[in-house]
Amino acid sequence: MSNFIKGHWGRTTVENSKKPIVAVDIGGTKFIVAVVDNSGQILSRSYCLTHDEQGRARVIARLTEYVYKTVKKAGLNLDGIGGISLAVAGIIDINRRVITEAPNLYRWKNVGLASLIEDEIGIPAFLINDASAAAVGENRYGSGRGIENMIYVTVSTGIGGGLIIGGKLYNGYSGSAGEIGHMIIKTEGPVCNCGRCGCLESLASGTAMARMARERIYKCNQDTMLKEMDVNAITAEDIAAAARKGDRLCLEVIDEAGFFLGVGFANLVNIFNPQMIVVGGGVAQMGEMLLRPVRKSMKQHAFKLPSTAVRVVKSKLGSDAGVLGAAAYVRSIMEEEE
Amino acid sequence: MSNFIKGHWGRTTVENSKKPIVAVDIGGTKFIVAVVDNSGQILSRSYCLTHDEQGRARVIARLTEYVYKTVKKAGLNLDGIGGISLAVAGIIDINRRVITEAPNLYRWKNVGLASLIEDEIGIPAFLINDASAAAVGENRYGSGRGIENMIYVTVSTGIGGGLIIGGKLYNGYSGSAGEIGHMIIKTEGPVCNCGRCGCLESLASGTAMARMARERIYKCNQDTMLKEMDVNAITAEDIAAAARKGDRLCLEVIDEAGFFLGVGFANLVNIFNPQMIVVGGGVAQMGEMLLRPVRKSMKQHAFKLPSTAVRVVKSKLGSDAGVLGAAAYVRSIMEEEE
């Protein structure tokens, strides 16, 4: 695939591409730092809350601190590290190495995070979209191992995606391909975090499920276990827990989100005709409870040939998909450049 | 790219791939037969009405007759032909060489057209989706010449598409990739020919424009030049003609269709981040009158990075895109097999 980041990896050597990589998966709530070796083994791992509200400088300082910590935890020092891979939930310009937009991390708009981290730590850093990284992870080590044409969809606070075409990450012309969550499927739908209406994310993410539950409680006064808690603080996790106990409102909310997710999948299936869709992210932990209505709606809204061909499966790597994929991606760039 | 039709081209030789190809573009209204040489020159060309209502056998007989005629017109005989490429507006299973569904050519569902034509004419035949063929044509010889990541969208009676990734046609896992017209963008939208609701085709095709015009006349009693004609027989061409004369209703209809087409393009741009979208088909003859509202809506509904990067342009080859691409596609398969 073309459009890989090139030209700023002055120190790349065959040796570097074999060294462990520090992979960082930066989300709105927390970040994960992992040192990943050549074979995809995680040598050490740390978690830290992002606390985006404290401002960028403090987040970068904390991130740097955790990189050092995690490298040390792996029994290594920076000389032993081949590079840093930063996976971020945003629209990445891979040529300029800038986060151009980030609906769920808005302080990071137009930030050249890779350069900032390079300046702090002194080893080459790369930027990648977090869902694209997870797509690479699942394709290399997870549910989609060896699949040539695959789509990874992460459903959590937001919805993201990554495309694998011909066994490789497809970045598109500027590096921002895969923004599945902002596919508009209902032009008169609810307002999304991105400012538009009726995006898949506004209809099927964890945030959307919480909104649907609140609406059913306030507008329809429907009965539910959720009334026992602070209704304004309901999360997709609460909905899943209540649904498992048979709560009707929560089962309906999951069905509704599954319906819309299935419409989005149908669009992807009609356009891409992929062999597999891997569903990851926190909300995907609901498993079949969510995937069953998704598959039903997908088959209803897509042509028979591609919707029969595709397998919709749960992610295997869970929250490690991002760091594993981010590391594998950087390694593939280093190998291409050599 | 994987998934090219393989294994049934027993007689393929280096010699065959250099010979002229007979390309047939089969639409709901008419079909075009062309003999195309190695350099993309059309040596001879014939048009004929499809008359699908007469049944498949008669259509195939007429098609065969026109193949012989057009080959003769080029001063050739069948020994001089490398193969036949059949471009059809339907969901093609390239492995089984079957039209699995065809919303606008419903008599052709589950027909193994390539085998039928091979039996009739005695030279190897291939099936390809018509919009995929046109995508190859525009990429090889038209507006998208040399573009690595490109989407071709045809807007006519229906809406179809083809994806060029890494300079090659992307077929997907079963060969049906590119069904852009049946991307759902308004879950509660009008019923589409495919039986679902709110597909791009139901909101932005020539058929959709005619429906919008009729609705505005009947429901809103809006003033328009179109009232002078049989309102039930209005076509997109009539709308374009009246709009050029400043007819307000018609301009509004084009703006509305352009808005929805722009939503569809925004989805493609967010997901694919292509370098170019080439718009072909009869309705695209409206040119900037349609493309202006399309670009505006696309930029409004997509992220800035990919929507700034993409160029939305009109097809250069017009109705020749299908036959030129169908021929180039078959040639590329023959060359791959050698």
Q: Is residue B1 part of a domain?
A: no
Instruction: Please state, in angstroms and rounded to a whole number, the distance separating the CA atoms of residues A103 and B304.
Output: 12
* A176 at interface of B, judged by CB pairs closer than 8 A: yes
Shortest alpha-carbon distance between residue A201 and chain B (Å): 13
Choose from A14-18, A24-28, A312-316, B57-61 the range with maximum mean pLDDT.
A312-316
What CATH number did the domain enclosing B327 receive? Answer: 3.30.420.40
CB contact under 8 A, A179 and B2: no
B261 lies in the same domain as B234: yes
Interface of A with B in 33-92 (CB under 8 A): 91
pLDDT in tens, B98-119: 999 887 777 888 999 999 999 9
Mean pLDDT of B71-85: 96
A187 lies in the same domain as A298: yes
B161 lies in the same domain as B94: no
- Name the residue with higher pLDDT: A148 or B96: A148
Res. A7: pLDDT tops 60: no
Query: What is residue B220's predicted lDDT score, i.e. its pLDDT?
Result: 81
CA-wise closest residue to A337 among A7, A2, A96: A7
Instruction: Please state, in angstroms and rounded to a whole number, the distance separating the CA atoms of residues B132 and B137.
Output: 9
pLDDT in tens, A30-40: 899 999 999 99
B152 lies in the same domain as B208: yes
* B306 at interface of A, judged by CB pairs closer than 8 A: yes
| Helices A113-121/A56-73 angle, 10° precision | 50
Q: Is residue A42 part of a domain?
A: yes
Q: Is residue B9 part of a domain?
A: no
B31 lies in the same domain as B82: yes
Instruction: Please state, in angstroms and rounded to a whole number, the distance separating the CA atoms of residues B214 and B62.
Output: 36
Q: Is residue A199 part of a domain?
A: yes
CB contact under 8 A, B268 and A271: yes
* A174 at interface of B, judged by CB pairs closer than 8 A: yes
pLDDT in tens, B141-196: 999 999 999 999 999 989 999 999 999 999 999 999 999 999 999 999 999 989 99
Q: Which residues of A touch B101 (CB under 8 A)?
A: 303-305
Specify whether the CB–CB gap between B316 and B16 falls below 8 A: no
Q: Is residue B302 part of a domain?
A: yes
pLDDT above 70 covers a percentage of chain A that reads 96
B29 lies in the same domain as B115: yes
Q: How many CB pairs under 8 A join A and B?
A: 161
Specify the length of chain B in residues. 338
Question: What residues make up the domain containing A27?
Answer: 14-137+320-337
* A185 at interface of B, judged by CB pairs closer than 8 A: yes
CB contact under 8 A, A271 and B176: no
Q: Is residue B118 part of a domain?
A: yes
Give the total number of structural domains in chain B. Answer: 2
A307 lies in the same domain as A198: yes
* A310 at interface of B, judged by CB pairs closer than 8 A: yes
The predicted complex's ipTM stands at 0.92
pLDDT in tens, A186-196: 999 999 989 99
Q: Is residue B262 part of a domain?
A: yes
Q: Is residue B188 part of a domain?
A: yes
Question: How buried is residue A171: exposed, middle or buried, by Cβ count under 10 Å (0-12/13-18/19+)?
Answer: buried
Of chain B, the end-to-end C-alpha distance in Å amounts to 16
Q: Which residues of A touch B301 (CB under 8 A)?
A: 184, 196
The residue of chain A nearest to residue B185, with distances taken between CA atoms, is A185
Q: Which residues of B touch A309 (CB under 8 A)?
A: 173-174
Instruction: Please state, in angstroms and rounded to a whole number, the distance separating the CA atoms of residues A323 and B130.
Output: 42
B151 lies in the same domain as B84: no
Res. A9: pLDDT tops 80: no
